[in-house]
Amino acid sequence: MLSPEDKDAAQRSGLIELAGVADAIALSPASEEAWIEVIRKMDQVYADLVHYQIELERKNAALEEADQFISSVLSAMTDVLIVCDLAGRVEQVNDALERLTGREASALIGVPLEMLLAPDCRPLFGKLREKIRDGGGCDDFEVSLIDRGGVASPLSMSCSPRYDHKGRFVGVVLIGRPVGELRRAYTELAGAHQQLRQAQQQLVFSEKMAALGRLVAGVAHELNNPISFVFGNMHALKRYGARLTEYLQAIDSGADAARLLELRSQLKIDRIVTDITPLVDGTLEGAERVSEIVQDLRRFSSSQTEPFESFNLCRVVRTAVGWVAKAARVKPEIVFELPERLEIVSRRGPVHQIIVNLVQNAVDVMADSAESRLTISGSEEPPWIVVRVCDNGPGISASVKERLFEPFFTTKPIGEGTGLGLYVSYGLAEELGGHLEAANRESGGAEFTLRLPVREEPNAGASR
């Protein structure tokens, strides 16, 4: 007999009704077992069908979602997309091509690619197909498509192979951007680059002016010494000139020898004759020193690019240190470890500015030190000429060192620093073909190292 559960299953499946057997009919034990097995199989098949149906619906939903995603990507592309089979027939396009040609996708599918190209570009597809078949894609070639107005529109195109699920080469994919857009983008990029260069040059010049403002007192002191020397010599020469004039007038008036001898002794003519040459030489030396300082100022403040020239680096270093030290509120002890001469071929103005910035930075960090000491050394270490500026200040912390050469970064209080000195110095060193480095000294304090390349001839550097 069927159990109540099996009867319910049989009724649900409709097997008893289909067999024309009533609920009350009694079956043999063997028949009952057979029907039970059939019902169980039917239940399993039915469950599998439901599962497959659910999976099929899920996969269809995923396919629809993927199709919508691909369609949205193709629609969003501003570049032209064309997918072709091996025969060159169009299989897929995007909205950008529809807008360019003025034709809908349905009108483009199946059309030979040659019909979309300008006449002089139509033989191109066969060559592209063979090149891709042999070794891969083609990048950045120019091809013209016929636009909606019937005019050839140039595009910068790239082409890559397309494979099916079995890895067979079945066609090509072409992606192109109108050349006009690329040219406009390149023009905008070039303009932005030019603006950046101008901004950098303005930063360098602004830092020069800021540094010059800090150095006014030191420069004035540098100028005062030779000017005072020249001023004193000129007063002496004026007195000597008056005495010589009086003596010459006595000679012209016909004074006798005794009177001339008396005047010669009274006016100290022999002393004047002895002193006049050293006075003139000293005056010329003072004037030349003033001229040198003025030239250094002009180079320092100039916004023009200097030519490469040969000069004594040690003199430039001493001048820069003197300007900063004489303008400093607290005068540090300065130790020079420099040879008499250190010839270099470079640009004098930028080198001067770098040294001024490094020395100014060292003086500032030692402002609160009880015994500030600044050591400047220079030597030739092929292929470099090296200048080191060392202080005995607090040194450089790890967090500061990471940002030391960034623009506008400063550890000084607001209003006391621009944050451009080290940034500008770093850039100038790179422009000169060198390097600027910073490190802590084992004995305490910081050390800035400027490395400039050794150049043999000024003409070779000036031609750069």
- Tens of pLDDT, residue by residue over 325-341, are 877 778 889 999 999 99
Instruction: Output the domain CATH number for residue 171.
Output: 3.30.450.20
* Strand order from edge to edge, sheet including 446-453: 333-337, 373-381, 384-391, 446-453, 435-440
CA 282 to chain centre: 51
Number of domain units in the chain = 3
CA dist., res. 387 & res. 355, Å (int): 9
- Give the three-class secondary structure for 339: coil
Residues 105-147: tens digit of each pLDDT: 889 999 988 888 888 888 777 777 677 666 566 777 888 888 8
Average pLDDT of span 16-20: 46
Q: Does residue 30 sit within a domain?
A: yes
Radius of gyration from C-alpha coordinates of the chain: 46
Domain housing 176: 75-183
Q: Does residue 404 sit within a domain?
A: yes
**Are residues 42 and 50 in contact, defined by beta-carbon separation less than 8 angstroms?**
no
Residue-by-residue DSSP string for 201-223 = HHHHHHHHHHHHHHHHHHHHHHH
Regarding whether 457 and 436 lie in a shared domain, the answer is yes
Q: Does residue 232 sit within a domain?
A: no
Regarding whether 339 and 462 lie in a shared domain, the answer is yes
Regarding whether 58 and 87 lie in a shared domain, the answer is no
The half-sphere exposure of 24 on its side-chain side, counting CA atoms within 13 A, is: 0
What pLDDT is stored for residue 22 in this prediction?
Answer: 45
Domain boundary among 183, 207, 230: 183
Q: What are phi and psi of 187, to 5 degrees?
A: -65, -45
The larger pLDDT score, comparing residue 35 to residue 242, is at 242
Regarding whether 113 and 66 lie in a shared domain, the answer is no
What pLDDT is stored for residue 416 in this prediction?
Answer: 60
Considering only CA atoms, which of 350, 363, 361, 360 is closest in space to residue 313? 350
* Interstrand relation of 384-391 and 446-453 (parallel, antiparallel or unpaired): antiparallel
What pLDDT is stored for residue 205 in this prediction?
Answer: 67
Among 52-56, 184-188, 302-306, 351-355, the range with the most confident prediction by mean pLDDT is 351-355
Q: Which residue, chain included where needed, has tokens 């607001």? A: 414
Regarding whether 159 and 51 lie in a shared domain, the answer is no
CA dist., res. 119 & res. 176, Å (int): 18
Regarding whether 49 and 101 lie in a shared domain, the answer is no
Q: Does residue 374 sit within a domain?
A: yes
The half-sphere exposure of 391 on its side-chain side, counting CA atoms within 13 A, is: 24
Regarding whether 454 and 358 lie in a shared domain, the answer is yes
The larger pLDDT score, comparing residue 394 to residue 298, is at 394
Nearest-10 Cα torsion for 203, 204, 209, 212: 140
Instruction: Output the domain CATH number for residue 341.
Output: 3.30.565.10
Q: Does residue 165 sit within a domain?
A: yes
The larger pLDDT score, comparing residue 200 to residue 230, is at 230
> Rounded to whole angstroms, what are the CA distances from 111 to 95, 103, 116?
16, 12, 8
Q: Does residue 161 sit within a domain?
A: yes
0.75 exceeded by the pTM?
A: no
Regarding whether 42 and 82 lie in a shared domain, the answer is no
Regarding whether 447 and 395 lie in a shared domain, the answer is yes
Q: Does residue 295 sit within a domain?
A: no
Average pLDDT of span 384-393: 94
Considering only CA atoms, which of 75, 69, 112 is closest in space to residue 93? 75
Domain boundary among 183, 215, 241: 183
> Which residues, in sequence order, are CB contacts of 245 under 8 Å at separation 6+?
none
CB atoms within 10 A of CB 19: 11
Q: How sure is the predictor about 1, in pLDDT bands with cuts at 50, 70 and 90? A: very low
What pLDDT is stored for residue 440 in this prediction?
Answer: 93
Regarding whether 150 and 54 lie in a shared domain, the answer is no
Q: Does residue 328 sit within a domain?
A: yes
Question: For all residues of the chain together, what is the average pLDDT?
Answer: 80
Domain boundary among 50, 72, 94: 72
Regarding whether 459 and 324 lie in a shared domain, the answer is yes
Regarding whether 146 and 10 lie in a shared domain, the answer is no
Residues 257-306: tens digit of each pLDDT: 888 888 888 888 888 888 888 888 878 877 877 777 777 667 666 666 77
What sign has the CA pseudo-torsion 201, 202, 206, 212? positive
Residues 183-206: tens digit of each pLDDT: 667 778 888 888 877 776 676 666
